[in-house]
Chains A and B, each alone.
Chain A
Amino acid sequence: MLTDEQRAVYSRLADVLIPSAEGMPSASEADVPTKWINDALGYRPDLVPAFLQALEIGADGEAEAAVVRINSTDSVAFDALGVLTSGSYFLNPAVKELIGYPGQVPSPAYDDTATYIDMLAAVVERGPIFRPTVT
């Protein structure tokens, strides 16, 4: 679990990565630093050390410069920060709804052969395209 200090640093960095724009909420507005990052860190414990390293590198100074500094000094830490922030954002059902993504929900298979069978006739008409066995 993040300390209050780490969470404050992360909140500033996360909003640089995912700002409020294009009709979409920022990371903070989507509860990434306060809620969803906790879940994401639980799903990816392997990324926790690199993520904390990113927070340490980015602790000081203006947030945009801090993100650039993380990226330029430690690509592994930046990858962890990027994956966990993006992944946390998409865990939020409200975000999924805004981008039109239903998530991994069941969508039973159906037979749509009738929609393309006429198209396939042209493929068949062009004839065989294999080289037969040489005997």
Chain B
Amino acid sequence: MSNTHLIQRPLPEVVDVLVIGAGASGSVAVSELAQNGFSVACLEQGDWTPATEFAGDKPEWELVKQKKWHPNPNVRQGPSDYPINTDESDVNPLLYNGVGGSTILYAAHWCRMMPSDFQTRTLDDVGDDWPFTYEDLQPFYEEMERTMGVSGLGGDPAYPDEPSFPLPPLPLGKVGLKAAAGMDKLGWHWWPGANSIASKEIGHRPACLRYGACLTGCPAGAKASTDLTHWPDALEAGAHLVTGARVREITVDDKGLASGAVYIDRDGVEHTQKARIVVLAANGVGTPRLMLLSKSEQHPNGLANSTDLVGRRLMMHPYGAAVGTYEDELESWLGPAGQILHSMEFYETDKSRGFVRGAKWNLMPSGGPLGMRSGYGGRPVDESFGVNFHKNVKRVLGRSFEWGVIAEDLPDESNRVILDPELTDSDGIPAPKLLYKSSENTEKLIKWHVARAVEAHEAAGATSIETTELMRDCGWHLLGTAKMGNDPKTSVVNQWGAAHDCPNLIIIDGSVFATSSGMNPTATIMANALRSIRHLVENRATQPMSGE
């Protein structure tokens, strides 16, 4: 099935809803709104990414993945990308601009948050409680798992409802069995990982071919990116999609309500699209950037920013890892990549560890022979080359795997997205700048968890183990920069994503997370987006709109 759909219809002068961003959350919104009779248009600064362009099934894969398919837009520097100043950030943000957004390049780990993640203030006296509970979001998780065709095994005792999944789990293979044996020796929790990757044909998507190239786009089309799972039906239902549309401002009417957006096409021509409601779905960096860019008489500090919270509380999930190497041949280049296993053994707070909150662990394969062979400069030549080049390949290739640690970082108002005073994108629009420092709690958390991951490898029989306690290129999860909450004085949006200061501006991406959890967030982003948009659909009669 092709993942590009060029249905072009004339845009109405005014649409019911304008969605900005065609990624994980924007796709949910457009699909849901179009199928419920709304006129809806989506502005996406990127384009379709045909699956034939993905390199995961080609010999050059490991060479090109370090540039063209790199998740860091500052490295990739594609025509759809905007620069992000990271001079004052411990972590680089990772994202993709295009139809499907970052689901094009994500690892497809499908992780519901835990009940405690919604109540960190109540339970651990840190962060903030979300304005709803796990049980409120649970039916939307279930619905998204069906829509995305998630593969996994039911009965996981880490969750209250032991969720089942529409497809059976992907194979553990030799890597998963080796790691599981180690966890069993220690009596630690493990479970086959849930992934939004088809283990069997579902809908138009074929089964996974285990290229292990999930992070550079799935050449088989088995991974659930929203260009496959949502856009075909949304376009059939009448949605409008404008690609190459880089938004520079959300406009407001004389009441201060959102009235549309000004965008620039790839020929440099400026357009205005009017709308009764605006939905922001541009990720935890792009969304606050746009809000800060949208200053007006009614919103002098940026759109819906009377609290000065827009852009603040940025959370990016610092990531630690332990890579173990084994004597056995494990075929560790095979997918999914993807999480083969996960472990929640140390997810919940235990204050005796010297920190609060925890982390999900995920088991991932190690890829091909080139792997992470970069950054040699300055290290002794014979460390990586000469006879050791061959010895290292024989020792590591097919024989190593990673326990990764998704560390929950807590909200801190000094971690933020601001507008760079000098740097601009290719259209002259001010670029975002990140101010982000990993906290002492996070550093203690990662150090402790990585030490346990080393023990897990030792128990599984690893012959050598290498650790990383803060990977700089790890900022996949861009969260918290337009916080949701019940109090307009301490939050930007309410529990349905409607901005307190601008009730027809609905924010549905990871920006609204009150806390970050220690989970990959796509499942929660999509479930929350569905919950917010369904509320909008059900309450359309009383929803404030521009032009009324």
Interface positions of A (Cβ within 8 A of B): 16-19, 21-24, 39-40, 43-44, 46-47, 67-68, 71, 74-79, 82-84, 86-87, 90-91, 99-101, 103-113, 115-116, 119-120, 122-124, 126-134
- State the CA gap A71–B379 with chains docked (Å): 8
From B155, B211, B220, B336, A124 is in contact (CB under 8 Å) with B155
Chain A: CB-nearest residue to B374: A83
Contact yes or no, A104 B390, CB < 8 A: no
B224 CB–A CB distance under 8 Å: no
Min CB distance, A64 to chain B, in Å?
8
Contact yes or no, B114 A130, CB < 8 A: yes
- State the CA gap A43–B153 with chains docked (Å): 40
- The residues of B that contact A111 with a CB separation of less than 8 Å are 168-169, 171, 199
- Known contacts A78-B376, A128-B157; is-contact A123 B191 (Cβ 8 Å): yes
- The residues of A that contact B38 with a CB separation of less than 8 Å are none
- The residues of B that contact A39 with a CB separation of less than 8 Å are 60
Total B residues in contact with A, Cβ cutoff 8 Å? 84
- The residues of A that contact B211 with a CB separation of less than 8 Å are 104, 106
- State the CA gap A39–B61 with chains docked (Å): 12
- The residues of A that contact B187 with a CB separation of less than 8 Å are 122, 126
- State the CA gap A134–B116 with chains docked (Å): 8
Contact yes or no, A108 B207, CB < 8 A: yes
- State the CA gap A89–B417 with chains docked (Å): 42
- State the CA gap A40–B59 with chains docked (Å): 10
Of residues 61 to 118 in B, which have CB atoms within 8 Å of A's CB atoms? 61-64, 66-67, 114-116, 118
Min CB distance, A22 to chain B, in Å?
4
Which secondary structure dominates where chain B touches chain A? loop
Most chain-B CB neighbours within 10 Å: which of A18, A82, A103, A104? A104
- Known contacts A82-B385, A120-B191; is-contact A107 B209 (Cβ 8 Å): yes
Among B45-53, B232-240, B344-352, the stretch that binds chain A is B344-352
- Given A106-B57, A109-B170, A130-B160, output 15 extra A-B contacts at Cβ < 8 Å: A18-B389, A21-B390, A23-B390, A46-B67, A79-B376, A83-B373, A83-B374, A100-B398, A104-B58, A104-B212, A108-B209, A111-B169, A129-B345, A130-B114, A130-B347
Contact yes or no, A101 B398, CB < 8 A: yes
- The residues of B that contact A91 with a CB separation of less than 8 Å are 59-60, 63
From A22, A71, A103, B390 is in contact (CB under 8 Å) with A22
Contact yes or no, A101 B115, CB < 8 A: no
B144 CB–A CB distance under 8 Å: no
Min CB distance, B54 to chain A, in Å?
10
From B62, B171, B207, B394, A90 is in contact (CB under 8 Å) with B62
- The residues of A that contact B29 with a CB separation of less than 8 Å are none
Most chain-B CB neighbours within 10 Å: which of A74, A86, A126? A86
Contact yes or no, B376 A132, CB < 8 A: no
- The residues of B that contact A77 with a CB separation of less than 8 Å are 377
B210 CB–A CB distance under 8 Å: yes
B184 CB–A CB distance under 8 Å: yes
- The residues of A that contact B393 with a CB separation of less than 8 Å are 99
Min CB distance, A126 to chain B, in Å?
7
